[in-house]
Structure 1
Amino acid sequence: MTSHRVVFALIAIFVLVLLTSDPSSSDDSHKVKLSLYYEALCPYCANFIVNSLGKTFDNGLISIINLRLVPWGNAYLKDNKTWVCQHGPDECLLNTVEACAIRVWPDLGAHFSFRFIKCIERLHLENNHSEWKSCFGREGLNSKQLIDCYNTGLGFEVIYLLHFMCFVLMGCKFTVQLERSYAYETASLKPPRRFVPWVIVDNLPLEEDYQNFVAYVCRAYKGPSTPKACGSPSIEVNSSPKANSIGQVCYANVAKNQTSMAAAQGKP
């Protein structure tokens, strides 16, 4: 008799879980993959993160998105030795900090790493990115793991620890393994990215139409429950996207920014 009661109790709990589960939550297998290739101090990347991607957490669209952020952008390896960022050494530092945030809090959909990155990018829009450490307190996040990641590095590789980098980046060791993997991924994009922000939705580069990413996400989603954010009559793919983002991107320097696959892999 006792065993029957246990079975009935388990069945009741199972049914209760089914009935109380959020019907709007999406099966991960149906989620649309959205990848953002960016750099920390490009103002258009910052604006996109703060004012566009940020809204997906407010309107529920994030429930159908598998979000990936890749903080490398238009950085390049000079002579396969020196790591140079488009907006200077501060950008190299913050690219690495944001890479560490993604590593420490890997589930961007859970909001922790995104909140932190969004905070840094908002500070940049306010011309105050040097105060990035204040984002720990602002977002109620523990700084230890991220600072450890930044200071000690992961899989530290001597080839990237040059005097230039140590001097310019205030003598700190940093996570070259993470940034090298992002360099390789960015260099291997097909077609090659021409600027940042470079947004890809389910393997489709949006190019100049990146600001219209919601329409592409909604069109690509094949899951059972569509978020209300996809129901707006203004949600449609632009047939003439190239005029949308003129001047709203940080262009890559073709002569310098095409980090080679060999360089990104650390090969001689």
Structure 2
Amino acid sequence: MKMHPSVHSFRRSFFFCCFLLLSLFLLLLLLVPPSSSSSSSSAPNEKVTVSLYYESLCPYCADFIVNRLVRIFQTDLISIINLRLVPWGNAWIAPDASVICQHGEDECFLNTIQACTITIYPDVMQHFRFIECLERLSLEGRHRQWMNCFQMTGLGTSPIDCYTSGNGKTIHLKYGKETSELKPPHRFVPWVVVNNQALQEDYRNFETYICRAYKGKVKPNACRSSSLTARTYDESNEKDNNFFIPVCYADEAKNLTLHFGNEIKQ
């Protein structure tokens, strides 16, 4: 049976159009560069490293974590940040190699529990939720109810086993060694470091420093706020005007670096 001439014409036109479309598609593949990651995330080497050196029962550390640092999770700022939490603060090593914490034994215990939680749950979203919960209880004078934070955050209680096994002490001491090697040395907590720059007295302005340090092509929305204007801290203002800085000072931490050689394997 012979096909109608119009059918032959249609088939030739159809195959010709398919050939053109395929050629155009291949050309577009060559011309369009491979898609990069979405604007809401950053390559690991572009992220800004933010390290918070703190202690669990310093009220100013608790306030900073609960009311200020938490904002990076409430905006898209966390997408450009590698957040590190270092619970040691102003603790020091006594002559008998025991750890002495500024706010007593409870603080040493909670520092260690938090250190274990960070290690066991390395995802920052997970361990920050637990730490924020515990620090909120600290602000409310209820830090001894810390076990409730496991249920409230949905995390398992493995950090308790970490503490009782002795592994927690080793982790805690490593954080202490890192704190003792800060340059410049920390003088108080909370002590915030952004890409190796210690913010010192201007730590509450940390968001501005993060945005300025970020070198990625697409700035997060949180960095486009006109309110993020960094100021220059003037130490003379503090002395002349009795300017209050909400920190816990490290006056008692003179022996911070002693005995680490016996406690931590290099």
Name the TM-score class by shorter chain. Answer: 0.7 to 0.9
1:33, 1:201 within 8 Å by CA — same for their partners in 2?
yes
One-letter amino acid of the structure 1 residue matched with residue 154 of structure 2: G
Pair member with larger Rg: 2
CA distance in structure 1 between the aligned counterparts of 2:250 and 2:214, rounded to whole angstroms: 31
CA distance in structure 2 between the aligned counterparts of 1:218 and 1:80, rounded to whole angstroms: 44
Q: Report Cα offsets for 1:183-213 as digits up to 9, x if no partner.
A: 1111111111000000000010000000000
Question: In structure 1, what is the equivalent of residue 109 of structure 2?
Answer: 93
1:250 to 229, 237, 248: 248
Question: In structure 2, what is the equivalent of residue 219 of structure 1?
Answer: 212
The worse-fitting range, judged by mean Cα deviation, of 206-215 and 45-54 is 45-54
Question: How many angstroms does 1:151 deviate by?
Answer: 1.3
* 1:122 equivalent in alignment to 2:164: no
2:91, 2:256 within 8 Å by CA — same for their partners in 1?
no
2:92, 2:257 within 8 Å by CA — same for their partners in 1?
no
Question: In structure 1, what is the equivalent of residue 166 of structure 2?
Answer: 153
State TM-score, norm by structure 1: 0.79
Question: In structure 2, what is the equivalent of residue 160 of structure 1?
Answer: none
One-letter amino acid of the structure 1 residue matched with residue 100 of structure 2: V
2:261 to 242, 259, 265: 265
CA distance in structure 1 between the aligned counterparts of 2:234 and 2:208, rounded to whole angstroms: 12
Uncovered stretches (5+) of structure 2, i.e. residues with no partner: 1-33
State TM-score, norm by structure 2: 0.80
1:70 to 57, 65, 86: 86
Instruction: Describe how 1:223-242 pairs up with structure 2 within 5 A.
Output: 223-240=216-233, 242=235
CA distance in structure 2 between the aligned counterparts of 1:220 and 1:188, rounded to whole angstroms: 23
One-letter amino acid of the structure 1 residue matched with residue 180 of structure 2: A
Question: How many angstroms does 1:98 deviate by?
Answer: 0.3
CA distance in structure 2 between the aligned counterparts of 1:18 and 1:267, rounded to whole angstroms: 49
Percent of matched pairs sharing the same residue: 49
2:201, 2:233 within 8 Å by CA — same for their partners in 1?
no
Q: Report Cα offsets for 1:121-161 as digits up to 9, x if no partner.
A: 00001110000000011111121x2121111122xxxxxxx
Question: In structure 2, what is the equivalent of residue 180 of structure 1?
Answer: 173
* 1:24 equivalent in alignment to 2:24: no
Q: Report Cα offsets for 1:6-40 as digits up to 9, x if no partner.
A: xxxxxxxxxxx969x64311111100010000000
CA distance in structure 1 between the aligned counterparts of 2:46 and 2:130, rounded to whole angstroms: 27
One-letter amino acid of the structure 2 residue matched with residue 247 of structure 1: I
Uncovered stretches (5+) of structure 1, i.e. residues with no partner: 1-16, 155-174
CA distance in structure 1 between the aligned counterparts of 2:199 and 2:229, rounded to whole angstroms: 13
Question: In structure 2, what is the equivalent of residue 134 of structure 1?
Answer: 148
Question: In structure 1, what is the equivalent of residue 197 of structure 2?
Answer: 204
One-letter amino acid of the structure 1 residue matched with residue 164 of structure 2: N
Partner SS state of residue 262, structure 2: coil
Question: In structure 1, what is the equivalent of residue 69 of structure 2?
Answer: 53
One-letter amino acid of the structure 2 residue matched with residue 250 of structure 1: C
